[in-house]
A and B are shown apart, each in its own frame.
Chain A
Amino acid sequence: MIDDLIERMLRGDRRATARLITLVENDEEKAREIISKIFPRTGRARIIGITGPPGAGKSTLLDKLIKVVREEDQVVGVIAIDPTSPFTGGALLGDRIRMQRHSTDPGVFIRSMATRGSLGGLAKATNDAIKVLDAYGCDVIFVETVGVGQIEVDIVKTADTVVLVTVPGLGDDVQAIKAGLMEIADVFVINKADKEGADATYFELNLMLDLEKERWEKRGWRPPIVETVATTMKGIRELWDAIKDHQKFLKESGEIERKRRFRAEEEIKAIVSGKIARAIESRLGEEEVSNLIRGVVKREIDPYSAADLILEKTLGVKP
């Protein structure tokens, strides 16, 4: 069945491609088989992460970016990730709304994905979905995530180019950027530049970049700041040019090799942690765990020793 799906995908069949993405997302065993079979055909696509607070206009920007990239006749893939509700397990994925005019373009493949349960799970699912779209023939793959949680940051930071979208008038948000996201951004976007305060935001961002000047100089790339109005085309071509400039920098500086190594490392780590977690779960009796938990609550055993016991029992790892 999988061989058939892969063959159809390579012939450009979109239903087979979509089915393969579902399988890598849902089924550990099948993901393994699919990825090992398509792996030699991957590594060609450029991966661009788009992140920023909810409502900043990421999906609307993507709609316009797709238009510009399509003018260059490149095949575009989009993976748009929205959160799963931790309470119900359900999700409402609405990024597509902004990009629907591209849905009938045979050179565009848009897929919505929910964060679902586990930490390692999302990173793995995203990486695998990227590979399917890469093998399908996408030249450029955009990954949209909400830049709030650590998981999303982890995912987007393995992209070739990370675009961080902010908007004017959220003074606190610019502060929030500083913690963690600032370092991973390759291009800054101030979207909704039609709103009041865009200049102030530009000034503030620029100042923050100045403070980190030494780092940029050492790296050879200072993230440009692009002002856009995603509801029109204002600044969109400039944004695509900035992304392409960064891609050129990656190649010429050899930084691309470092990025690829980093991605491979993160990917292996995510798979290993996932496997360890599952191995432990499958070998651990529920009663044993609840006994240990009770022991910790009663102060009969400390949490470190309880963890050591679990590792020794399930994986034979001596403390």
Chain B
Amino acid sequence: MVERSKVRVLVAKPGLDGHDRGAKVVARALRDAGFEVIYTGIRQTPEQIVESVIQEDVDVLGISILSGAHMVLIPKILHLLEEKGLKPNDDILVIAGGIIPPDDAQELEKIGVGRVFGPGSPISEIIAFIDENVHKLKKFRPA
């Protein structure tokens, strides 16, 4: 397992809805679990999120979304990541949370999101998912 304090997670809040209680709660919980968490605040554009991912060289991108625009914003983010040479599941682990219906979740998991966590998912599930998958990223594989 990769040491959690060396796993960098960026928690991003795209979309226009103005409150970020959920995202902050998750960010704090991940910190308390021992991860290094970068929080970028509300109303982030996909471009800002992807640039932050690059500059911070994070291993995990957690997208929190409530606005209903997930089927537009998340594919856009994935597309920009690939454009910058960041392949989901290979260079970065992308997870999403918020109000995302199961059909949409399935679709998103097909196009690169590692796992969609529905509302009320216990934080332990998110932590376990990161622990089990982050070491599969290219940068953590032995050269």
Contact = CB atoms under 8 A, between A and B. Distances in A.
Nearest to B27: A92
Given A88-B31, A90-B31, A92-B39, A100 B48 contact: yes
A30 to B, nearest CB: 11
Given A1-B143, A111-B55, A104 B36 contact: no
Interface in A10-46: 14-15, 18-19, 21-22, 26
How many residues of A sit at the interface, in one of the four size bands?
Answer: 20 to 34
A110 B53 CA distance: 11
Contacts of B55: 14, 18, 103, 109-111
Contact of B47 (A96, A104, A116): A104
B135 interface: no
A112 B54 CA distance: 12
Nearest to A1: B143
Contact of A112 (B34, B56, B85): B56
Interface residues of B, number: 33
A89 B52 contact: no
B48 A114 contact: no
Given A15-B54, A18-B55, A85-B31, A90 B48 contact: no
Interface in B12-51: 27-28, 30-41, 44-45, 47-48, 51
A93 B57 CA distance: 14
A93 B56 CA distance: 11
Nearest to A113: B36
Nearest to A20: B57
Given A15-B85, A97-B40, A116-B5, A111 B34 contact: no
Given A15-B85, A103-B55, A96 B4 contact: no
B27 A96 contact: no
Contact of A92 (B28, B52, B84): B28
Interface string A109-147: 111101010000000000000000000000000000000
Contacts of B57: 15, 18-19, 21-22
Contacts of B84: 15
A114 B36 contact: yes
A103 B35 contact: no
A103 B35 CA distance: 23
A289 B33 CA distance: 30
Contacts of A18: 54-57
Contacts of B51: 14, 103-104
B6 interface: yes
Nearest to B49: A103
Contacts of B27: 92
A104 B48 contact: yes
A88 B34 contact: yes
16 contacts: A1-B143, A14-B51, A15-B84, A18-B56, A21-B57, A89-B4, A89-B34, A90-B35, A93-B38, A94-B38, A96-B41, A100-B44, A103-B40, A103-B51, A103-B55, A109-B55
